[in-house]
Amino acid sequence: MTRFAAISLLFAGFSAVLLGQNPPAPSAPTPPARTPRPGVKTPGVKIPIERLKPDAVFQVGGTPDWLAIDEHAWVSNKPTDSVSRFDPKTNQVVATYQLGAGKRPCSGLATGFGSVWVPNCGDKTISRVDLKTGAVTATISTTIGNTEGSIATGAGSVWMMTDAKGTLARFDPATNAVVAEVYVAAGSYGLTFGENAVWVTSTDNDLVTRVDPNTNLVVETIKVGPKPRFIAAGAGAVWSLNQGDGSVSRIDAKTNKVVATIEVGVPGGGGEIAVGEGSVWVTAFEFPLSRIDISTNKVVQQFYGKGGDAVRVGLGSVWLSNLEAGNVWRLDPKRIEATLPN
């Protein structure tokens, strides 16, 4: 600030006091605008999200976020401290179960062992919710590695990162207790179970770690794209969504090698990835749904506009939570494939 400007500002404030007015309050700094995601460059691939017609829209309010699929579909809701259950036969929200005030569900959602498992960032617990009754049958004290993480079930256990140092906790559903800890790379937050292994992304070190559930040992660390976060397993491969450049790394589950790097154009925080119905599905704000052809390792459809946040595949459908709209879409994968740009 120049000397003249400083004197002028002082005079303006003094004049306001003389006139019985309060001096003008300093304006709040404007937060920097987020750089728009570019999306893919391939012509004829981008499609307005308005062209995509869901088979069902589940209105739950709040900010529906993490999804899990078993015989029903489930979504967690951070501001309402709840999980909701959808009936795939009637396409209705059949129940919303309260977890308790201040739970603030976060960091993924998983089903298994007759329960839905809900990490809570509010009080650093996992809520175990009965799939049939919706009753909270256990509240497990733990720490949460990151709000933007994952929880998974497999090999008779529940798996979750419990800190930023690289501690992978293995919970026994018979006792709800931690029975093993596996130490992976620091800054690991996302994980999935599939292809007979636990796969963990280290966002800080650009790695995917393969853990053998039979021995609780790290058997491989694999260099992938920058800042991998969310990860999915299926079709003989493991797929990491890399937040650094918005790409997807495809790892061959037999060789533990990256066999393809797929440009999706969705860099930045958030997003999620799922595999099923013959495709890989990526969601991110601005591009609610991108479909990758497994046979060609290319994005063949990319829907742009408002929507998206989490994605899962199951019960013959693609499920997409739209956090800002307060709803969840159920989509027929064949209808998605048949949706054209014009």
Domains (range + CATH), the chain: 45-338 (2.130.10.10)
The burial class, CB within 10 Å (0-12 / 13-18 / 19+), for 269 is exposed
* Mean pLDDT, range 309-336, rounded to an integer: 97
Instruction: Give which of 28, 111, 42 is closest to 76, Cα–Cα.
Output: 111
pLDDT band per the 50, 70, 90 thresholds, residue 301: very high
C-alpha–C-alpha distance, residues 118 and 99, integer Å: 9
Q: How far is C-alpha 232 from the chain's CA centre?
A: 11
**Three-state DSSP class for residue 288:** strand
Angle at 153 between CA 152 and CA 158, to 5 degrees: 90
Return the residue matching tokens 């393969």.
210
Q: How far is C-alpha 59 from the chain's CA centre?
A: 19
Instruction: Return the pLDDT at 29.
Output: 53
pLDDT band per the 50, 70, 90 thresholds, residue 14: very low
Instruction: Return the pLDDT at 21.
Output: 44
For the cut 80, the answer to whether the pLDDT of residue 215 exceeds it is: yes
**Three-state DSSP class for residue 4:** helix
**Three-state DSSP class for residue 34:** coil
Strands across the sheet containing 177-183: 151-154, 157-161, 167-172, 177-183
Mean pLDDT for all residues in the chain? 92
Instruction: Return the pLDDT at 342.
Output: 76
* Mean pLDDT, range 87-107, rounded to an integer: 97
Structure tokens at 32: 């920097």
- Long-range Cβ pairs for the range 74-80 (8 Å, 24+): 74/109, 74/111, 74/116, 75/109, 75/310, 75/321, 75/328, 76/105, 76/106, 76/109, 76/118, 77/105, 78/104, 78/105, 78/106
Instruction: Return the pLDDT at 30.
Output: 54
pLDDT band per the 50, 70, 90 thresholds, residue 24: very low
Provide the residue count of the chain.
Answer: 342
C-alpha–C-alpha distance, residues 260 and 180, integer Å: 33
Instruction: Return the pLDDT at 35.
Output: 84
For the cut 50, the answer to whether the pLDDT of residue 12 exceeds it is: no
* Mean pLDDT, range 99-109, rounded to an integer: 97
**Three-state DSSP class for residue 152:** strand
Could you give the C-alpha distances from 10 to 19, 27, 29, 98, 143, in angstroms and in order? Answer: 14, 16, 21, 55, 51
Instruction: Give which of 259, 287, 260 is closest to 273, Cα–Cα.
Output: 287
pLDDT digits (tens, 9 = 90+) for 232-254: 999 999 999 999 999 999 999 99
